[in-house]
Structure 1
Amino acid sequence: MENPQSAHAGTAAPGPESPTAVAAPASEAGTAPDPEPAATGTSRATGTGTTPETSAEPETITALEASAVLEVSPEPAPIGPIPEPDAAIAAAEQAAARGRARALDLPADGFGRLAEVSVWIAAAQGASPPRPITRARAVLLAADHGVAAGGLYPWPAGATARRAAAVAAGGSPLAVLARRGGVGLRVVDVAVADTADEATPAPATGYRVRAGNGRIDQDDALTVPELDLAFATGRRLADEEIDGGADLLVTGALGVGADTAAAVVIAALRDLEPIDVVDRGDGSDDERWMLRTAAIRDALRRVRPFASDPRSVLRVAGGADLAALTGLLIQAALRRTPVIIDGVPGCAAALTAERIAPGARAWWLVGAEPGDPAATHAVGTLGLRSFIDLKTRTDDGSGALAAATLVIDAVETAVDLDAAAATVRRPDDDLNIPDIT
């Protein structure tokens, strides 16, 4: 079944790659010659060890999670067929919603997108009315991108680490949105280049892929083993959250340069030009806009030979955060868990994930209108629509967290209206008068 929030369900064609083909062992990935020498993959190690550890996840803000660089990655786990949300349940919930409205003297389609989202959740759960969301979880992946060193952004070195530490400590607008919305928040360092300061919460181990992604206008973002590790890390994070009881996931990316890498990934997969995806949403001046356009141009020149292989696109031009997001989105779909995505990195990961595992998009909701040309191209290609438009430009999950609150409320409304309608008996019920609204 197609995602009920799709703008034109069934019209977006899946990519040419099959799940089986792209889940090949690491030795088979990226076999085409690189336009330039590949990155060496050597970078400083931080953390306390290389053995992954999993700890119980609290409901509130957690500490930054990181570990030492791992040079040897596991074999990529095979990706099975993506299940479909329950189409019969979706149809039943749509009919039930109209019945509730009629019983309560409300317009049949009066709740608009709120009703559509409740139908989507019902289909994902396989239950009508849908069950209330009891454990929504946001996973934010933090990573630095080497391309930012080219002067594309006004922020100083260490900005990513400081932002991640502020979110983890609960002292950021993002943390407030999560707290007020009842969404558990987890910040995971997969490739942050610098630590913020000595006051940063002590890191856990098991998730860090490398210290900063490669500079994609000059070098590869990741090595093949790093790509496989990042992808597996995203799948692992999804499993951990779902095994812990999560029934709704929210994603975001924290990292200076993530939007540029995401724009390159989208342009490569969609065969677009730099001018089609470049944006100055951060208020950059003309000089920075030109630098960014040039960086996207150079990165696209390096990645175009790999455009037919989405995993290689992530390796050459994406990064650990985008690869992990891609793995998370695919694993969530395999586990029949809905996900709200946000921002250009989230849209780039979604476009890549759909190419790797066609049909996964039925499990995703674009939380907020990204307002970025690259993301707009990705959303349109996926055949999805944004749920709300708050004019947010942060890419860190803020829009998705705001949308998550409305999704939770929409499901609660459907449940409460169902209970209220059950207590109402209209005089014409026995006459079997059809609903013609």
Structure 2
Amino acid sequence: MPEITPVPRPDQQARLAVAAALSTSVRGDSFGTLNDVASWLAACQGVAPAAPLQRTRVIVFAGAHGIATRTFEDVGLSAFAPESDAEQLTELAEGAGPAHTMARRTGASIHVVECAPSGAIDVEPAMSTEEFDAAFMLGQTTADAEIDAGADLLIPAELGVGGTTVAAVLMGNFTATEPVVIVGPGSGTTDAMWKTKVTVIRDAMFRIRNLDGIEVIKAASSPSFAALVGFMCQAAARRTPMLIDGPLTATAAVYAEKLAPGVKHWLYAASATTEPSHIKALELLKLQPLLELRMRAGQGLAALSAVPLIDAAVELAGDELAVLAAAESNESQTPATEYEA
């Protein structure tokens, strides 16, 4: 098992300083949820107010899920064919596709990390112990490299057909939720695809019914999922804020929190989907999504959509705190007026 560094808590004094200052101003108090964003980022940076973000990076962990090829009565479980993984990878490599479009709009950049494929988790383990260790450490070293290069906001993301099915299996196991309850619409499945998905989830959950923690990850996730978990554990240990969006990244956050308590404090949920696994993961993490976009595109697209609001929250809070500080300074410098009786 790779070494996991203990996760520190964000600076609560910085959080409270921003929150308290904004709450004393009628205008500042009117910023609503953006105040929470500004306070969270101040805590992560350890300064009040938070400094503007300089380098937002999307890290896409890409890997084929073995269950994407599974069928039931000759019907698959996704509207996307497994071959679309390679097509989307090529698109990302060429700087094309929705994620790059959104990244350009927000000033972010994207790095793709290719991971090994997984086994079909309804009939075989996702990976061996050696493969898990390698994937987890790949996530850790990727986090270190990005942070060392100056990243101050990280967006862990994923690419791989069948990701919502993996998330359903893992969260179904974690919360003891029945397959027919934890299954979601995925990438737009038909009734026949839904049946296939439920069958795969049921069989995979049965295989891991007596497992826990890392053993569940090895048996029923994928190397790309293990890399996501390692990435989040290390980024949190390095005191770097993260923005998450999809069901699989939220599920990875749940398992990262289990392995390294405190990871959740370094996370902000950008958006939510209608996937039951996603909803349950955010509830466990006690994260309230900033947006309700219901985007299922993956690749960090929903998180990228939230970046302009993160930037705005930082600037609004900084400006308001500067105004409040100036007003306080003027009051303290105003000489008292003496009156003769």
Partner of 1:143: 63
The equivalent of 1:357 in structure 2 is: 260
Q: Distance in 2 between matches of 1:316 and 1:426?
A: 61
Residue aligning to 1:313:
216
**In structure 2, what is the equivalent of residue 416 of structure 1?**
319
SS at structure 2 position matched to 1:107: helix
Matches within 5 A, 1:145-224: 145-150=65-70, 151-190=76-115, 210=116, 212-224=117-129
Instruction: Give how far 1:147 is off.
Output: 0.5
Of residues 373-382 and 386-395 in structure 1, the stretch that sits farther from structure 2 once superposed is: 386-395
- Given that 2:164 and 2:186 are in contact with CA atoms closer than 8 Å, whether structure 1 keeps it comes out as no
Q: Deviations over 1:287-331 (max 9, x none)?
A: 10000000000000111121x2x1111111000111000001110
Q: How far does the alpha carbon of each residue in 1:191-234 deviate from its partner, in whole angstroms, 9 at most, with x for none? A: xxxxxxxxxxxxxxxxxxx3x21101111111110001111111
Partners of 1:86 and 1:234 in 2: CA distance: 25
Task: Give the SS at the match of 2:209.
Answer: helix
Aligned residue identity for 2:99 = L
* Aligned residue in 2 for 1:241: 146
1:344-383 aligned at under 5 Å gives the runs 344-383=247-286
Q: How far has the Cα of 1:168 moved from its partner? A: 2.6
Identify the residue that residue 125 of structure 1 maps to in structure 2. Answer: 45
Residue 289 in structure 1 maps to residue 214 in structure 2: no
Aligned to 1:390: 293
- Deviation at 1:269? 1.5
Structure 1 residue ranges without an equivalent (≥5):
1-24, 26-75, 191-209, 432-437
1:394 and 1:165 mapped to 2: Cα distance?
A: 16
Q: How many residues align?
A: 329
* 1:430 CA drift (Å): 8.1
Map Cα deviations across residues 370-428 of structure 1 (whole Å, 9 max, x no partner): 22111111111111111111121223211111112211221122223333444446997
Matched residues, percent identical?
Answer: 37
Corresponding residue for residue 278 of structure 1: 183
Judge which range, 377-386 or 227-236, deviates more. Answer: 377-386
Aligned to 1:112: 32
Structure 2, unaligned runs of 5 or more = 71-75, 335-341
C-alpha separation between the residues in 2 aligned to 1:230 and 1:408?
32
Q: TM-score, normalised by structure 2?
A: 0.92
CA-CA distance at 1:239 after TM superposition: 0.4
| Structure-1 residue corresponding to 2:4 | 79
The TM-score, its normalising length taken from structure 1, stands at 0.72
Tell me if the contact between 2:59 and 2:154 (Cα under 8 Å) persists in the aligned partners: yes
1:83 partner amino acid: P
Residue aligned with 2:269, SS: strand
1:7-18 alignment to 2 at 5 Å?
A: none
1:77-118: CA deviation from partner (whole Å, max 9, x where unpaired): x2232100111111111122235xx3xxx4342111111011
- Distance in 2 of aligned mates of 1:282 and 1:236: 31
Structure 1 residues 162-171 or 416-425, which shifts more?
416-425
Tell me if the contact between 2:28 and 2:320 (Cα under 8 Å) persists in the aligned partners. Answer: no
Q: What do the CA deviations read for 1:8-40 (whole angstroms, capped 9, x no partner)? A: xxxxxxxxxxxxxxxxx4xxxxxxxxxxxxxxx
Q: What is the DSSP-based 3-state SS (H/G/I as helix, E as strand, rest coil) of the residue aligned with 2:317?
A: helix
